[in-house]
Amino acid sequence: MAVENVTYIDSLDPTAPAGGDSISEGDDHIRNIKRAIKDTFPNVDGPVELTTAEFGELKSGLSNGGIVASCKYNGTSIMYQEGVSSVVQVGNGGYRVNFQSDIAGFDNHYAPIVTPFVSSNNRPVLASLTGFTDSWVEFTLAEFDGNGNSAPAVNTGFSLLIVDMIQN
C-alpha cells in the first residue's frame, strides 16, 4: 500500500488505500487525514455549528457583495491578493492599492478596512484613508511614539479588505 503525500483536504486520494492493501500502513493513512483537516482549518478550535443552508447563505452573501477585494502586504511584497492588482508606496508611509477592475460606486457604499501590522519598534500603527477612486484606494500608516505620529522607520505590512456595506 502506498501512503499518500498529503497537505490539505484536496490532496487526499479518495481511492487510497486500495481494498486489498495490507493494513500495516493504515495508521499512516489516518494521520494523513487528520493532518489534512487540521492544516485546511488551522484556526478552528471549537465546533462549527453552521447548517448546510447557513453555509449556502454565507457563500451567496460573499459572492454577491461582502468582500470585493482583499490583500495582505508584508511591507515589501503582496503575500495574498483577491481583486487587487498591485500595491505601490506613495510618499513616506503611504500606500496605493490598485484594484484588478474598477469597483463602480466605490464612494457610495464600500468600506476599506486597513489593519496594519505592528511596527519593528512595537509601537501602535495607525491607518488613515487619504484618497480613493473606483480603481484604487490610498492610505497612510503612521507609528505613535507616545508624543505624536510619524512614518514607520521600516516598511510596515497591512491587510486590506474592501467590503460592500449595502450588498444587494
What distances in angstroms separate CA 106 from CA 2, 92, 94, 127, one per listed residue? 53, 25, 20, 19
Pair 81, 155 in one domain:
yes
Asked whether residue 25 is assigned to any structural domain, the reply reads: yes
**Distance in angstroms (rounded) separating the CA atoms of residues 146 and 29:** 54
Asked whether residue 60 is assigned to any structural domain, the reply reads: no
pLDDT at 97: 94
Could you read off the pLDDT of 2-61 as tens digits, one per residue? 778 888 888 888 888 888 877 888 888 888 888 888 888 777 888 877 777 777 666 565
| Predicted confidence band of residue 62 (pLDDT cuts 50, 70, 90) | low
Closest CA to 139 of 118, 125, 154: 125
Give the structural domain span for 26.
1-49
**Distance in angstroms (rounded) separating the CA atoms of residues 29 and 12:** 10
Pairing of strands 78-82, 67-73: antiparallel
